[in-house]
Amino acid sequence: MFDFIQNHILTLIIFIPVIGGLIILFLPERHNLIRWSSLIITLIPFTLSIMLYAGFDRSVSGFSYPGGLQFVERYSWIQAFNIELFLGVDGLSMPMALLCTMLCPLCVLASWGIDKGIKGYFFLFLLLETGMIGVFCALDFFLFFISWEVMLLPMYFLIGVWGGPDREYAAIKFYIYTLIGSLMMLLVIIYMYLSATPHTFDMTRLAQLGAGMEFKTLCWIVLFIGFAIKVPVFPFHTWLPDAHVEAPTAISVILAGVLLKMGTYGMLRVNYMMFPDVTFKMSMFIAVLGMINIIYGAFCAMAQKDLKRLVAYSSISHMGYVLLGMASLTEEGLNGAVLQMFNHGVVAAMLFLLVGVIYDRAHHRRIDGFGGIASVAPNYAVISFLAFFAALGLPGLNSFISEALVLLGAFQKYRIITAVSATGVIITAAYCLWTIQRIFLGKLNEKYAVFPDINAREFISLLPLGILVIVLGIYPHPILALMKPTVRFINNLITGSGI
Amino acid sequence: MEIITLQSFLIVSLILFLTGLYTIVSRKNIIGIYMGIELILNSSALNFASFSRFAGRGLEGQVFSIFIIVLAAAEAAVALALLLAVFKRQRGIDADKLNILKG
Amino acid sequence: MNIEIKEIVFISIVLLTIAPCSVVAFSRNILYSAFALFFTFIGTSGLYFFLDADFLAIVQLAVYIGGVLVLLLFAILLTKNIDDIKKTNTISLRRSITAGITVLVLFFSLFFVFLSTGWTPLNGGAAYPNGTIHELGRLILSKYLLPFEIASLLLLAVLIGSLVLAGKTVRQRED
Amino acid sequence: MGNLESIRYFAPEGFLSVFIITFLIAGLLRRKTFSKSSFSCIAGTAGLFLTLILELCINTGYPDAIVIFSGMLKLDALSHLFKILCISSSILLFLFSYSSRETSDSLKEPMEYALLILSCTLGMMLLVSSSNLLMMYLSLEFLSLTAYMLTGFTDKNEKASEAAMKYLLYGGAASGIMAYGLSLLYGITGSLDYSGIHRFIAENNSGIILYISMIFIFTGLGFKIAAFPFHAWCPDVYEGALTPFTAFLSVGPKAAGFAVIIRFFYQIFTVRGEGDVLTVLGSADWPAMLAIISALTMTFGNLAALRQKNIKRLLAYSSIAHAGYMLMAAASLTILGIVSVFFYLSVYFLMNFGAFLVVIAVSNEFNSDEIEDYEGLAWKNSKGAFLASMFAVFLFSLIGTPPFAGFIGKFYLLLSILQPENPIYWLAVVAVINIIISLYYYARILKTMFLSRRQKGTALSGFERGQYLQYSLMAGLALFSIIFGIYWSPLNNISMLLENFIH
Per-residue pLDDT at C129 exceeds 60: yes
Give dist(CA D186, CA B68) in Å, integer.
14
Q: Measured between beta carbons, which residues in chain B are less than 8 angstroms from residue C115?
A: 7
Residue B29 Cα, gap to closest chain D Cα (Å): 11
**Per-residue pLDDT at D247:** 93
CATH of domain B6-97: 1.10.287.3510
Q: B12, B50, B75, B78: which to substitute to probe chain C, counting the most C Cβ within 10 Å? A: B12
Beta bridge partners of A140: A202
Q: Measured between beta carbons, which residues in chain D are less than 8 angstroms from residue B35?
A: none
* Interface residues on C facing D, Cβ-Cβ cutoff 8 A: 110, 113-114, 117, 119-120, 122-123, 142-147, 149-151, 153-154, 156-158, 160-165, 168, 172
DSSP string, D217-278: HHHHHHHHHT-TTS-THHHHHHHHS-HHHHHHHTTHHHHHHHHHHHIIIIIISEEE-GGG-E
Per-residue pLDDT at D451 exceeds 90: no
Q: Looking at chain B, which residue has its C-alpha nearest residue D135?
A: B64
- What is the pLDDT of chain D when averaged over all its residues? 89
Per-residue pLDDT at D476 exceeds 60: yes
Residues of chain C with pLDDT > 70, as a percent, come to: 83
Considering only residues C107 and C174, tell me which one the structure prediction assigns the higher pLDDT.
C107
**Per-residue pLDDT at B99:** 44
Cα distances from C167 to residues C164, C171, D150, D160, in angstroms, run 5, 6, 14, 15
Residue A211 Cα, gap to closest chain D Cα (Å): 14
Q: Is D493 on the interface with A (CB under 8 A)?
A: yes
Q: Looking at chain C, which residue has its C-alpha nearest residue D133?
A: C147
Please report the number of interchain residue pairs, chain A to chain D, with beta-carbon separation below 8 angstroms.
75
Each residue's pLDDT tens digit, D31-52: 888 778 888 888 999 999 999 9
Reported as a pLDDT band with limits 50, 70 and 90, residue D366 is: confident
Please judge whether D440 and A145 are an interchain contact, meaning their C-beta atoms are less than 8 angstroms apart: no
Reported as a pLDDT band with limits 50, 70 and 90, residue C126 is: low
Please judge whether D145 and B47 are an interchain contact, meaning their C-beta atoms are less than 8 angstroms apart: no
Q: Is D146 on the interface with C (CB under 8 A)?
A: yes
Write down the domain spans for chain D: 285-503
Each residue's pLDDT tens digit, D20-32: 999 999 988 888 8
**Per-residue pLDDT at C85:** 53
- B–A touching, 3+ CB–CB pairs within 8 Å: no
**3-class secondary structure for chain A?**
CHHHHHHCHHHHHHHHHHHHHHHHHCCCCCHHHHHHHHHHHHHHHHHHHHHHHHHCCCCCCCCCCCCCCEEEEEEEEEHHHCEEEEEEECCCHHHHHHHHHHHHHHHHHHCCCCCCCHHHHHHHHHHHHHHHHHHHHECEHHHHHHHHHHCHHHHHHHHHHHCCCCHHHHHHHHHHHHHHHHHHHHHHHHHHHHHCCCCCCEHHHHCCCCCCHHHHHHHHHHHHHHHHHHCCCHHHCCHHHHHHHHCCHHHHHHHHHHHHHHHHHHHHHHHHHHCHHHHHHHHHHHHHHHHHHHHHHHHHHHHCCEHHHHHHHHHHHHHHHHHHHHHHCCHHHHHHHHHHHHHHHHHHHHHHHHHHHHHHHHCCCEHHHCCCHHHHCHHHHHHHHHHHHHHHCCCCCHHHHHHHHHHHHHHCCCHHHHHHHHHHHHHHHHHHHHHHHHHCCCCCCHHHCCCCCCCHHHHHHHHHHHHHHHHHHHCCHHHHHHHHHHHHHHHHHHHHHHC
Each residue's pLDDT tens digit, B35-93: 999 999 999 999 999 988 886 778 888 999 999 999 999 999 999 888 888 777 666 55
Reported as a pLDDT band with limits 50, 70 and 90, residue D172 is: very high
Per-residue pLDDT at C172 exceeds 70: no
Considering only residues D260 and D464, tell me which one the structure prediction assigns the higher pLDDT.
D260
Give dist(CA A43, CA A460) in Å, integer.
14
**Per-residue pLDDT at B102:** 37
Q: D70, D106, D117, D165: which to substitute to probe chain C, counting the most C Cβ within 10 Å? A: D70
**Which of B38, B84, B93 comes nearest C68 by C-beta?**
B38
Q: Measured between beta carbons, which residues in chain D are less than 8 angstroms from residue A172?
A: 440, 443, 447
Give dist(CA B1, CA A488) in Å, integer.
89
Per-residue confidence of chain A (499 residues) as pLDDT tens digits? 778 888 888 899 999 999 999 999 888 888 889 899 999 999 999 999 998 888 888 887 777 777 778 888 888 888 888 888 989 888 888 889 999 999 999 999 888 888 888 888 999 999 999 999 999 999 899 999 999 999 888 999 999 888 888 888 888 888 888 889 899 899 999 988 988 878 888 888 888 776 677 888 888 999 999 999 988 888 888 888 888 888 888 899 998 889 888 999 999 888 888 888 888 888 888 899 999 999 999 999 888 888 889 889 998 999 999 999 988 888 888 899 999 999 999 999 999 998 888 888 888 888 888 878 888 888 888 888 889 988 888 888 888 888 889 988 888 888 888 888 888 888 988 888 888 888 888 777 777 777 788 888 888 888 888 898 889 888 888 888 888 888 888 888 888 876 5
Q: Is D459 on the interface with A (CB under 8 A)?
A: no
**Which of C110, C120, C156 comes nearest D212 by C-beta?**
C110
**Per-residue pLDDT at C125:** 62
**Which of C14, C17, C60 comes nearest B69 by C-beta?**
C60
Residue B100 Cα, gap to closest chain D Cα (Å): 7
Write down the domain spans for chain C: 2-112
- Count of residues making up chain B: 103
Write down the domain spans for chain B: 6-97
**Which of D149, D179, D187 comes nearest B41 by C-beta?**
D179
Please judge whether C92 and B72 are an interchain contact, meaning their C-beta atoms are less than 8 angstroms apart: no
Residues of chain D with pLDDT > 70, as a percent, come to: 97
Stretch C72-76: mean pLDDT: 81
Q: Is D20 on the interface with C (CB under 8 A)?
A: yes
Q: Is D432 on the interface with A (CB under 8 A)?
A: yes
Per-residue pLDDT at D277 exceeds 50: yes
Please judge whether B101 and D240 are an interchain contact, meaning their C-beta atoms are less than 8 angstroms apart: yes
Residue A19 Cα, gap to closest chain D Cα (Å): 14
CATH number for domain C2-112, candidates 3.90.1170.50, 1.20.1260.10, 3.40.30.10, 1.20.120.1200: 1.20.120.1200
Q: Is D424 on the interface with C (CB under 8 A)?
A: no
Residue C166: closest CA among A390, D260, D488, D153: D153
Give dist(CA D40, CA D394) in Å, integer.
29
Q: Looking at chain D, which residue has its C-alpha nearest residue C149?
A: D17
Q: Measured between beta carbons, which residues in chain D are less than 8 angstroms from residue A186?
A: 411, 414, 432
- D–A touching, 3+ CB–CB pairs within 8 Å: yes
What residues have CB less than 8 Å from D96, skipping those under 6 apart?
D103, D243, D244, D247, D248, D353, D356, D357, D360, D473
Residue D141 Cα, gap to closest chain B Cα (Å): 7
Q: Is A209 on the interface with D (CB under 8 A)?
A: no
Residue B45 Cα, gap to closest chain C Cα (Å): 9
Determine whether A134 is exposed, middle or buried from the number of CB atoms within 10 Å of its CB (0-12, 13-18, 19+). Answer: buried
Q: What ipTM was estimated for this complex?
A: 0.91
Backbone φ, ψ for residue D413 (5° rounding) = -60, -45
Considering only residues D101 and D290, tell me which one the structure prediction assigns the higher pLDDT.
D290
